[in-house]
């Protein structure tokens, strides 16, 4: 009698599961990955390579789908969803992660890295481990730090050669008070805004400019509506191939090793693709007639942005050792 009852329960459970499957059109256990970029982008290729490797190495026991183009929502929302386990993985700029994970703010300080190779070295070493520990404490496992180059200002009004040229400009920034302070330190008006809204806002004059790396400036077509690109290179912000700790904790030790290795490989691939894409994006915008100006001596920008450090350390005194660790290397 008891046996029969159990079997009946299992059968109805299985039926319920398959109904659920059909409704979601994703197989059970298939991970969902969030990506803000278009499919043809180094981040996107890195994520696809990651999930392909995980699937192959586990003979399909683990699999997933990457949702490109931000269709699963805005970046700040997606970060929360990965923390909660509603999304399994994603690639996030550390820029908008500061709200949730204070340690990530350190890499959002202007000119904290001297160069992109320095960023690699630091993120792959002790300093990066401290950031990863901060992420883990907030429910996110960092599987690797992708390259996002250096961010520079662009706008529809005039070339920016000195901090004074930013005065009065309405500049879109990522969602983080640090970036608001950064633009205000030069007398500009900062507007935090979702990435997806920037093109229209530039076009209609809601903002005069924004700041980003060449591949994002190009792939979003922002260059069509803001054709002065000034190479201030004030921010070098890495991106994190992030997995939800909830998903991670459900894996066996062997599976975790497979995922770690796939993360390492995907990071190496993304960094390689990034270099080529940066050059290609610069060529595209130059061919389209964008006025690009180099800023040989960036010391005036560095000096103007110095108050950002003081404000940050005043609000986060416990992070001053980490700031020093990044600065000393």
Residue spans of beta strands (DSSP E) within the chain: 30-34, 63-67, 89-93, 140-146, 151-155, 170-173, 189-192, 209-212, 228-235, 239-244, 291-294
Joined tokens for residue 295: 């800023």
214, 154 contact by CB (below 8 A): no
Residue 148 touches ligand BDP, criterion: CB under 6 A: yes
Per-residue interface string for the shown chain with ligand BDP, residues 213-252, x marking contact by CB under 6 A: x--x----------------------x-------------
Among 44, 55, 75, 132, which residue sits at the site for ligand BDP (rule: CB under 6 A)?
A: 75
Q: How far is the CB of 19 from ligand BDP (least distance, A)?
A: 36
Strand order in the sheet with 209-212: 189-192, 170-173, 209-212, 151-155, 228-235, 291-294
Distances in whole angstroms, Cα of residue 88 to Cα of each of 35, 50, 194: 12, 13, 22
Residue 93 touches ligand BDP, criterion: CB under 6 A: yes
CB-nearer residue toward ligand BDP: 177 or 239: 239
Residue 174 touches ligand BDP, criterion: CB under 6 A: yes
Residue 212 touches ligand BDP, criterion: CB under 6 A: yes
Q: How far is the CB of 37 from ligand BDP (least distance, A)?
A: 6
Helices (H), 25-74: 42-57
Residue 36 touches ligand BDP, criterion: CB under 6 A: yes
- Helix count and strand count (H, E) for the chain: 13, 11
Stretch that binds ligand BDP, among 136-144, 209-217, 280-288, 313-321 (CB under 6 A): 209-217
Residues that bind ligand BDP (CB under 6 A): 36, 75, 93, 148, 174, 195, 212-213, 216, 239
């Amino acid at each position: 009698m008891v046996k029969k009852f159990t079997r009946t329960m299992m059968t109805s459970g299985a039926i319920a599961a398959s109904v659920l499957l059909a409704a979601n059109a994703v197989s059970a256990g298939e991970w969902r990955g969030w990506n803000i970029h278009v499919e043809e982008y180094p981040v996107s290729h890195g994520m696809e390579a990651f999930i392909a490797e995980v699937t192959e190495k586990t003979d399909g026991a683990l699999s997933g789908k990457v949702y490109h183009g931000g269709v699963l929502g805005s970046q700040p929302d997606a970060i929360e969803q990965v923390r909660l386990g509603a999304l399994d993985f994603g690639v996030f700029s550390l820029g908008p992660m500061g709200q949730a994970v204070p340690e990530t703010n350190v890499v959002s300080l202007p000119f904290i890295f001297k160069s992109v190779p320095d960023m690699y070295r630091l993120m792959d070493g002790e300093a990066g481990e401290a950031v990863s520990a901060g992420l883990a404490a907030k429910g996110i496992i960092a599987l690797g730090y992708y390259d996002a180059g250096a961010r520079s200002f662009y706008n529809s009004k005039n070339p920016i050669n000195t901090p004074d040229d930013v005065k009065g400009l309405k500049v879109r920034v990522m969602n983080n008070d640090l970036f608001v302070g950064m633009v205000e330190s030069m007398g500009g008006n900062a507007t935090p805004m979702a990435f997806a809204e920037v093109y229209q806002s530039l076009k209609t004059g809601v903002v005069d400019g924004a700041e980003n790396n060449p591949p994002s400036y190009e792939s979003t077509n922002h260059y069509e509506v803001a054709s002065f690109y000034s190479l201030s290179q004030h921010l070098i912000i890495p991106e994190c191939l992030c997995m939800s700790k909830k998903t991670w904790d459900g894996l066996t030790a062997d599976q975790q090793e497979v995922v770690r290795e796939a993360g390492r490989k995907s990071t190496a691939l993304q960094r390689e693709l990034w270099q080529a894409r940066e050059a290609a994006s610069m060529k595209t915008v130059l061919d389209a007639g964008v006025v690009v100006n180099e800023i040989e001596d960036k010391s005036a920008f560095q000096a103007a942005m110095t108050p950002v450090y003081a404000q940050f350390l005043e609000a986060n005194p416990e992070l001053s050792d980490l700031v020093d660790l990044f600065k000393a290397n």
